[in-house]
């Protein structure tokens, strides 16, 4: 079970602000939030806690017709690298 508050602390407030994170949604094993500011493409970053106690981070983009495209995905992210990975994925054009 994932503690969403702890995950946000591991990412860091400055990293979340830098990528324009908003609209946070969480379930038992993952945290999803919207990033960026382009209107034509909606981008989301999902952070999922894996059984190995590492994180899987993926960036998904939805176009105007709600077609879902996984743009980038990274497995095996440790908590001390989580902020840098989320910021990198959130800053993508």
- 3-state secondary structure (DSSP) of residue 19: coil
- CB-based contact 40:63 (threshold 8 Å): yes
Q: How confident is the model at residue 73, as a pLDDT?
A: 95
pLDDT higher than threshold 90 for residue 9? yes
Cα 46 to the chain's mean position, in Å? 4
What are the domain boundaries of the chain?
4-90
Per-residue pLDDT reduced to its tens digit, 38-85: 666 789 999 999 999 999 999 999 887 888 899 999 999 999 999 999
Q: How confident is the model at residue 63, as a pLDDT?
A: 81
The pTM (predicted TM-score) of the whole model is 0.89
- CB-based contact 58:45 (threshold 8 Å): yes
Q: How confident is the model at residue 12, as a pLDDT?
A: 95
């Amino acid at each position: 079970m994932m503690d969403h508050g702890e995950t946000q602390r591991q990412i860091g407030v400055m990293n979340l602000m830098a990528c324009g994170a908003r609209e946070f949604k969480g379930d038992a094993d993952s945290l999803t939030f919207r990033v960026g500011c382009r209107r034509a493409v909606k981008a989301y970053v999902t952070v999922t806690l894996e059984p190995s106690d590492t994180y899987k981070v993926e960036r998904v983009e939805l176009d105007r017709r709600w077609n879902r495209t996984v743009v980038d995905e990274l497995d095996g992210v440790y908590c001390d690298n989580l902020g840098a990975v989320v910021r990198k994925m959130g800053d993508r054009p």
